[in-house]
Amino acid sequence: MKGKKRHVSLLAALALVVTFVAAACGGDDASDAPTAGASSPDPAAEASGWDEIASAAEGQTVRFWMWGGDARVNTYIDDVVGPAARERGIEIERIPIDDTADAVQRVIAEVRAGEENGAVDLIWINGENFAAGKEADLWLTDWVSGLPNSRYVDLEDPSIALDFQVPTDGQEAPWSRAAFIFAYNAETVETPPETFEALLEWARENPGRFTYPAPPDFTGSAFVRNVIQQVGSSEAAWELLRELRELQHRGGDAFPENEAELNELFANGEIDIAMSYDPGFVQGAVSKGQFPESARPFLIGGGALVNTSYVVIPRNAANAEAAQVLADVLLEPALQAQKADPETLGLPTVLDLSLLTEAQRATFSATTESAYLLSDFGELVPELAASEVGPIEEEWIAEVLR
């Protein structure tokens, strides 16, 4: 319940910011927002504009606010992205947060206070947080197509141009893709369930061996949305989730608070199925000795729920130029290839490989022939609209926890 109250509080604060910004701008439209890095139809002018941004960025430090719960992602930023950024003349100060809403709240507070040199330069973001900030006119606009490495991205691809069905409109640069997958322990589960109806039947036969984090936790919310989309009828989905609760770990009286707690239950052998929006999470957990070597990835429903995550720059960022340079660094083909490497993160690239040179494409040839990685995510399931996520989380409380 604490997380849900916090969610409502964030929306209320954003509503105040919408009013504040409208008053401060005298009712002007979003075209008056900062547009540093906007693309130009003239390639020479575009290159010149980027040179100015890159020059202004030198010596700046980007305060990169990002979820800090994945040690592998933190290491990637510190050890891979950091050196590449320094080669461009900028530094990264990684600000680990428990919830992306923390960064949005900070921007809200600064905008309401009229702070023009904000403490948030770049945020790892998607979904509800982006949509709410866009509605409140918090983000820098029209800068993404001006990034030199954006030439390797199909910005018209719906999976890039729409963030939980909300148009990105040049306000956030793509960084990574994610697929929602499951893990099972092959020593205790002979054949994992292939549908959510089969998962319910499996739970009947194995009571107490399954659970999921309680929404609005990101992973738990994704699980619930996955059920709703795959079952096909919201009424049938809620009925399935209600019955499943009674069969869950601890009789459904207590849910894990987050993915980390769920992973611990799986690692300790208390449950047999785990889940994550990180398609490489099984490989990562096995490699660091958290999961048993008998852990295996699998899909429920024939296809993975997928989304894209981005980086966004607050319109009052103190180091907006360096933030744009860092967003460009994150799109460097060599860094995207390393991020996609299973030995690093195993996260799918946002680049369109057909736009790369043959040599660049070759760097993405790292094998996925591993028992801990899926080579096929099936028939992909696109995310629901951001506006539907909050109501579904509220309905879960009413339908499942009642």
Structural domains of the chain sorted by starting position, each given as residue range(s) with its CATH number in brackets: 2-175+309-362 (3.40.190.10), 179-306+379-400 (3.40.190.10)
pLDDT at 310: 98
pLDDT digits (tens, 9 = 90+) for 298-335: 999 999 999 999 999 999 999 999 999 999 999 999 99
Mapped onto helix, strand or coil, the DSSP state of residue 204 is helix
- The pTM for the full model equals 0.79
Give the containing element (helix H, strand E) for 61.
Answer: strand 61-67
For residue 8, the model assigns a pLDDT of 39
State the chain's maximal CA–CA distance in angstroms: 66
What pLDDT is recorded for position 44?
52
- pLDDT by residue (tens digit) across 332-358? 999 999 999 888 888 889 999 999 999
Residue 254 C-beta-side C-alpha neighbours within 13 Å: 6
pLDDT for position 400: 96
User: Where are the extended beta strands (E) located within 214-354?
Assistant: 273-276, 295-298, 305-312
Percent of the chain at pLDDT exceeding 90: 76
Please list the ranges in the chain whose pLDDT falls under 50.
Answer: 1-41
Cα–Cα distances (Å) from 150 to 19, 39, 309, 315, 367, in that order, read: 33, 11, 15, 20, 26
pLDDT for the residue 35: 36
Produce one character per residue of 347-385: b if its CB has 16 or more CB atoms within 10 Å, e if not. bbbbbeeeebeeebeebbeeebebebbbeebeeebebbe
Q: How far is CA 256 from CA 159, 203, 218, 262, in A?
A: 30, 17, 12, 6
pLDDT of res. 173? 98
CA distance 283 to 290: 10
pLDDT at residue 367, rounded to an integer = 53
